[in-house]
Amino acid sequence: MTEQSKEEVAIVLDFLPHGYPFDSRPMHRKTPIAQAIGKKHFFLLEIIPKREVSLQPNEEVYIGEGKRDKVHHVVGKIPLDKLTQTAKGELDFVIEKLVKNSEDKIIHFFNNAGPISTRMHQIELIPGIGKKHMWEILEIRREKPFESLEDLKNRVKLIPDPVKAVVRRVIDELANKDKYKIFVR
């Protein structure tokens, strides 16, 4: 991870106080582990909490440099398919909350997205947005940039819910559905 792409805060998706169930080591050798998602870059992370610390799903934990209250260390990034069922169940809800809280970042994307190639545009990577919506978005943003997600929904006819569409895109990027990354660094 580069300096700019380090996560400072993560949101816990699942906490396993006795480690992974498939870990074959004896009970006294297993360590508690948490699966979390980075708040800024949507990294999926594996975290080791400090001794005697119990984490809760949806809890925000500091994982940046310096003194950490609850986290001993970050093991590293993990792929989407290594998430527990509980973590997968929390993922949509947590990503939706993060997307709603970073509306400025999403609006910046819709106001500044450009072409990837002569045949494809970044906006088309958002699920539910095809060529017709893409051209409409480009035309409308030329007149005046979008100010909010609500403004985007009101000015672009029949556009799918931008929050849900971006959540689906983030999950597609975590699953490595294609080579393009917009929101997951």
Where are the chain's structural domains?
3-83, 102-174
Q: Do domains 3-83 and 102-174 have the same CATH topology?
A: no
CB neighbours (10 Å) of residue 114?
8
Query: pLDDT (tens digit, 9 = 90+) per residue, 121-180?
Result: 999 999 999 999 999 999 999 999 999 999 999 999 889 899 999 999 999 999 999 999
CATH no. for 102-174: 1.10.150.280
Which of 3.40.50.720, 3.30.1490.100, 3.10.20.30, 2.40.50.140 would CATH assign to domain 3-83? 2.40.50.140
Mean pLDDT of the chain: 92
E strand segments, the chain:
9-16, 33-38, 44-49, 60-62, 71-77
Q: With b meaning 16 or more CB within 10 Å and e meaning fewer, what string describes 156-165?
A: beebeebbeb
Instruction: Report whether pLDDT(2) > 50.
Output: no
Say how far apart CA 19 and CA 33 lie, in whole Å: 5
Q: What is the mean pLDDT of residues 91-117?
A: 95
Q: Is the pTM of this model over 0.85?
A: yes
Say how far apart CA 122 and CA 140 lie, in whole Å: 16
Sign of the alpha-carbon dihedral angle for 104, 61, 161, 127: positive
Of the pLDDT bands very low, low, confident and very high (cuts 50, 70, 90), residue 4 is low
Cβ(79)–Cβ(132) below 8 Å: no
- What H or E segment, with its residue span, contains residue 139? helix 131-143
Q: Which long-range contacts (CB under 8 A, 24 or more apart) does 50-56 make?
A: 54/15, 54/17, 55/12, 55/15, 56/12, 56/15
Bridge partners, 60 (sequence order):
11
